[in-house]
Structure 1
Amino acid sequence: MGRSIEKLIDQLWDSYQKINPQADQIHKLLSDRGETIVNDHIAFRTFQDPRIGIDQLAIPFLEAGYQPADEYHFETKKLFARHFQHSDPALPKVFISELLLNEFSGELGDIIQRMLEQLPEMESLSEPLCTAGRLWEVPFAHYETLSEQSEYAAWMAAHGFCANHFTIFVNALKTIDSLQDLNSLLVQEGFALNQEGGAIKGSPEVYLEQSSTIASVVDVRFADGVHAVPGCYYEFARRYPLPNGSLFEGFVAKSADKIFESTDKKLQN
């Protein structure tokens, strides 16, 4: 089973690289320094719908031995999330969020429902939902309407089911002592960081520091042509020990709230 989950993670990484060309560049930058990259977590986005919600996206991970851990609420962004962990510490955590569709109405709700009406029978999928990509067609005007109310919904409309981001586990780096040092190196090399809420979200006091690049802009084929939109970003996490000495394994909702904005169009300007 371990080999199959590693194969799934490799498949997710291959797809992710295509909508985040920064990933390879940052990997090379760190590998050239002699680093071995350890992945802290992989994140996914979806809609709250029984066919494609968190429980469905989590299936291949649960089958591979992952266990549900903590849950998180994002009231402003109308999101609910849960993370999953494996007993093998070499396997990354999995963070899955979903947009609460019952909190949207009007035009945005109608657009999302039109997308969901295009979903195939889930049993017909030949591979896990988390690798299925976009399962609907949507005109660019609908993408733009969604982005005005929910950048998260717009990102889902454009990309569908894939890894939204991978995350470098900063603690495992040998030549870089802190997240501040890693951020400085990335900026020096020309990578733009998400500054919403500060370049570093969190602190040692909450046992987790996070930062991220701004999502790469990629060409996406919509129903009426190709348009450039935010794709995926790369995240960086440094974890701190709890009072009992064990490393904090969860997430901090206040920090994650700002990390979500790494795919916002406003950061591309």
Structure 2
Amino acid sequence: MGAFSVSNAFRRKNQGISTMISLSSSAIKASLDHSVPASFPPLRLRSPLSLSSSSGSPIRLPKRDLSVVSASVGASMSTNNNHSRGLSSQVGESFFRSVLGQMETVYLNRNPTPKSVLELVKSVDNEQLCYDHLAFRTFGIGGYGIDSLASFFLDHGYTQMDELRFPAKKLRALWFAPPKVSAIPDGSGVNGPLPRVFISELLVEQMTSQTQDVIRKYTQAAPNGKKYGALSSALGTLPWEKPLSSEFEQLARESEYAAWTLANGYALNHVTISVHRLKSHLNRIKKLNQFLEEKGFKLNSEGGVLKVSPDGGLLQSSTVADSISFKFSDGVIKSIPCSYIEFAERLVLPQFQNVPEGEIEEYHRRDGFEVGNADKIFESTNQEQLSRRTG
């Protein structure tokens, strides 16, 4: 799929923002009331392109030189700062951050592990805690895929970057660079520097006919749900009807990603702490991993706890996903995987090694994503990893 054009983003602006603004009152009210749908636990106050090898595993095509990537991203961020399509006014930015804030609220209400991790890290590092990226999962069919969420971010100044493909999992993903806007003073998380966005989609047409039939059943019965992906995420509701337990299990046998998406919809799959932006001794991912494991948190061990890009510049890890009690439409109640929290450390690029530490900015560091790392991070919601929580 080609890149979104700026003209297309402009044409969607009025329709996208007006739709979100007209419907935002309920989202903001939900945020003020701290309310979530009854099916969820109550509020507690406490980059590169890839192709398939003969084995079906992801392989990498030559990627752009990282110095070119960092320079182009820095330039695009600067351009967005001056010509932001959606964050050109204080009102526009306030609305955008309010929607992200409600997505974050739903995520933290449903997932005790990310909430505990964030509280623990903040107790040690009480400076501004920044997110590296937010991640979402979608169904690549009938307009319910990447585009359904990407339009919201594009309309608010984000820029589409690279595509990643995962042939063995039948997935593709795009990531989006944020506009360069000032963080809210003392703001953390979604009120800090705007994070990157990573959106993946299941290549539904590559699945078995039985799995395709289940996914089409729900997406076709809610043809307008794809227009409100961001709103669905912010309200913590599915854009389609609750599934049957038997159909969830059917999808899980072929693709745990598909089953997760059927039951969780557009909910935040994970947020990612920007480790190198921490000010304490935890600003190195190996130290953070050790700290969390000593506190009893289970980390995703697929491919090793620490996932390192081939160039050594991107280091990632994640917790094992939480589980929630989910009541299916046939009345069956089962424990299903929900979301997790990730950690990313981006090292300074070789050409910027002589930049004084106090002058290093994000664009001096390794940008983008890595197929091999992301492929293993996806496993955080898989049953094999979840079993480690009780093992």
Compute the TM-score of the two structures, normalised by the length of structure 2: 0.65
SS at match of 1:167: strand
Q: Residue in 1 aligned with 2:382?
A: 264
Residue 71 of structure 1 and its aligned partner are, at CA, apart by 0.9
The change in CA–CA distance for 1:51 and 1:130 in structure 2 (over 3 A counts) is farther
SS at match of 1:43: strand
Aligned residues: 269
- Measure, in 1, the Cα distance between the counterparts of 2:124 and 2:228: 41
User: Residue type matched to 1:155 in 2?
Assistant: W
More displaced stretch, 115-124 vs 38-47? 115-124
Residue 138 of structure 1 and its aligned partner are, at CA, apart by 1.1
More displaced stretch, 250-259 vs 175-184? 175-184
Q: Residue in 2 aligned with 1:25?
A: 116
- Measure, in 2, the Cα distance between the counterparts of 1:173 and 1:127: 29
Q: Which of 270, 286, 290 is the matching residue for 1:165? A: 270
Q: Which of 62, 65, 89 is the matching residue for 2:154? A: 62
Structure possessing the higher radius of gyration over alpha carbons: 2
The change in CA–CA distance for 1:161 and 1:151 in structure 2 (over 3 A counts) is same
2:202 maps to 1:99: yes
Residue 264 of structure 1 and its aligned partner are, at CA, apart by 0.4
- Measure, in 1, the Cα distance between the counterparts of 2:226 and 2:245: 29
2:137 maps to 1:38: no
2:188 maps to 1:85: no
Q: Residue in 1 aligned with 2:297?
A: 191
Q: Residue in 1 aligned with 2:99?
A: 8
Q: Residue in 1 aligned with 2:322?
A: 216
SS at match of 2:269: strand
- Gaps spanning 5+ residues in structure 2: where? 1-91, 182-192, 353-363
User: Residue type matched to 1:266 in 2?
Assistant: E
SS at match of 1:205: coil
Residue 187 of structure 1 and its aligned partner are, at CA, apart by 0.8
Q: Deviations over 1:64-101 (max 9, x none)?
A: 10010111000100001000011317100000000001
Q: Deviations over 1:9-63 (max 9, x none)?
A: 1011011112311122111111111333110100000011242211121112111
Q: Residue in 1 aligned with 2:342?
A: 235
Partners of 2:276 and 2:345 within 8 A in 1: yes
- Measure, in 1, the Cα distance between the counterparts of 2:259 and 2:366: 32
- Measure, in 2, the Cα distance between the counterparts of 1:170 and 1:74: 26
The change in CA–CA distance for 1:86 and 1:139 in structure 2 (over 3 A counts) is same
- Measure, in 1, the Cα distance between the counterparts of 2:142 and 2:212: 16
Residue 5 of structure 1 and its aligned partner are, at CA, apart by 1.8
C-alpha RMSD of matched pairs (Å): 1.9
More displaced stretch, 73-82 vs 26-35? 26-35
User: Residue type matched to 1:46 in 2?
Assistant: T
Partners of 2:346 and 2:367 within 8 A in 1: yes
Q: Residue in 2 aligned with 1:255?
A: 373
Residue 248 of structure 1 and its aligned partner are, at CA, apart by 1.6
Compute the TM-score of the two structures, normalised by the length of structure 1: 0.94
Q: Which of 288, 293, 305 is the matching residue for 1:182? A: 288
More strand by share: 1
Partners of 2:325 and 2:336 within 8 A in 1: yes
User: Residue type matched to 1:253 in 2?
Assistant: V
User: Residue type matched to 1:195 in 2?
Assistant: S
Partners of 1:50 and 1:56 within 8 A in 2: no
Partners of 2:134 and 2:196 within 8 A in 1: yes
Q: Residue in 2 aligned with 1:74?
A: 166
The change in CA–CA distance for 1:153 and 1:202 in structure 2 (over 3 A counts) is same
The change in CA–CA distance for 1:130 and 1:62 in structure 2 (over 3 A counts) is farther
User: Residue type matched to 1:234 in 2?
Assistant: I
- Measure, in 2, the Cα distance between the counterparts of 1:117 and 1:185: 46
Residue 200 of structure 1 and its aligned partner are, at CA, apart by 0.6
The change in CA–CA distance for 1:242 and 1:159 in structure 2 (over 3 A counts) is same
SS at match of 2:260: helix
